C-alpha cells in the first residue's frame, strides 16, 4: 500500500494512507497535546481554530509518540536510500462548526535559523523573531508533508481540497490559481490515517458544516541539506533502517 501511495504522490502530488496510527496511539497524542499549557506566541486560539506552531519545540514529548514503527516504515518508503529529517511540525484543530477556511495556496516558505544573502533564496520574512524564506524549487520538491488525522475527516469538517498534478508547475502565482482549481478533488481521511502531500500541490480547506472536530498533526520531512550557514529551524533527525531508533 505504501509503495502505491508513494507512486501516486509522485504523479498526483498527494495520496492517502489509512490505519497508520491505532486508536490508542491517536488518543495518546491528543492527551499529550491537551495536557500542555498554551503559554507562548506559538499557540493560536480562537473560536474557529486552535493551532500550535513549532509543535515539537513546544511539546517535545510528542516526538517519540509520533515515531512509531509504522511511521518509520512509511518514511523509509518515501525516502528510499536517504535519511530524512523533520523540518516543520504544526498542530491544527478546526472545532465543530468552525467558520475558518483556508484559501488556495502552496506551502512555499520554509523555516530557517537565520537570514543569509544566498542565490536563489528569497523573499525573506521575519515575524515574531522567526525567519522564513522561499527556497529554490529543488528544496521545495524535496519536502514531503504527512498530515496525521486524529479525527475522521471528510468534506463536512474541513477535509483538504487538492489539485492533482499542480505540484509539477513550480510556484504558481496567486492570479493563476483559478486556472487550476476547477480540477480540485476532496479526499476523506479516517482517524489514524495520513494524507501525503507535496508542498507545491495547490490545496485549500472549506468551513466546517459538521459537529465533528478536525484535528491534524502536520509534519514536513526532507532529506535535503541547506547551503552552508543555513539550517532548518525545527530540524529533528529520524533513523529509518529496520533496527531504527529515535535520534536524539
Q: How far apart are CA 97 and CA 83, in angstroms?
A: 40
Give yes or no for residue 246 having a pLDDT over 60: no
Query: What residue has cell string 532548518?
Result: 232
pLDDT at 130 over 70: yes
- Residue 67 pLDDT more than 70? yes
Task: Could you list the beta-strand ranges (E) of 153-213.
Answer: 160-162, 185-186, 194-197, 203-205
Q: Which CATH number fits domain 2-237: 2.60.40.10, 1.10.3720.10, 2.60.120.620, 3.90.1150.10?
A: 2.60.120.620
Look over the chain and give the mean of its residue pLDDT values, rounded to a whole number.
91
Report residue 21's pLDDT band, with 50, 70 and 90 as the boundaries. very high
- The band of 41, judged by pLDDT with boundaries at 50, 70 and 90, is confident
The pLDDT assigned to 238 comes to 92
pLDDT digits (tens, 9 = 90+) for 93-108: 887 767 778 899 999 9
Looking at residue 54, the DSSP 8-state letter turns out to be S
Measured distance CA(20)–CA(25) in Å, rounded: 10
Amino acid at each position: 500500500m505504501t509503495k502505491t501511495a508513494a507512486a501516486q504522490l509522485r504523479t498526483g502530488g498527494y495520496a492517502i494512507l489509512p490505519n497508520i496510527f491505532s486508536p490508542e496511539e491517536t488518543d495518546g497524542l491528543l492527551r499529550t497535546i491537551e495536557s500542555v499549557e498554551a503559554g507562548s506566541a506559538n499557540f493560536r486560539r480562537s473560536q474557529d481554530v486552535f493551532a500550535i506552531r513549532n509543535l515539537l519545540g513546544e511539546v517535545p514529548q510528542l516526538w517519540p509518540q509520533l515515531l512509531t514503527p509504522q511511521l518509520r516504515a512509511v518514511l523509509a518508503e518515501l525516502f528510499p536510500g536517504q535519511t530524512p529529517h523533520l523540518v516543520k511540525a504544526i498542530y491544527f484543530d478546526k472545532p465543530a462548526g468552525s467558520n475558518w477556511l483556508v484559501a488556495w495556496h502552496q506551502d512555499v516558505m520554509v523555516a530557517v535559523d537565520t537570514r543569509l544573502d544566498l542565490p536563489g533564496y528569497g523573499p525573506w520574512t521575519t515575524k515574531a523573531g522567526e525567519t522564513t524564506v522561499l527556497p529554490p524549487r529543488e528544496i521545495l520538491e524535496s519536502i514531503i508533508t504527512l498530515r496525521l488525522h486524529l479525527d475522521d475527516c471528510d468534506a463536512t469538517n474541513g477535509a483538504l481540497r487538492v489539485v492533482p498534478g499542480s505540484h509539477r508547475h513550480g510556484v504558481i502565482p496567486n492570479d493563476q490559481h483559478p486556472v487550476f482549481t476547477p480540477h480540485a478533488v476532496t479526499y476523506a481521511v479516517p482517524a489514524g490515517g495520513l494524507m501525503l502531500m507535496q508542498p507545491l500541490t495547490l490545496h485549500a480547506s472549506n468551513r466546517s458544516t459538521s459537529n465533528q472536530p478536525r484535528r491534524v498533526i502536520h509534519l514536513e520531512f526532507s532529506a535535503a541539506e541547506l547551503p552552508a550557514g543555513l539550517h532548518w529551524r525545527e530540524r529533528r533527525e529520524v533513523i529509518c533502517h529496520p533496527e531504527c531508533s529515535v535520534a536524539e
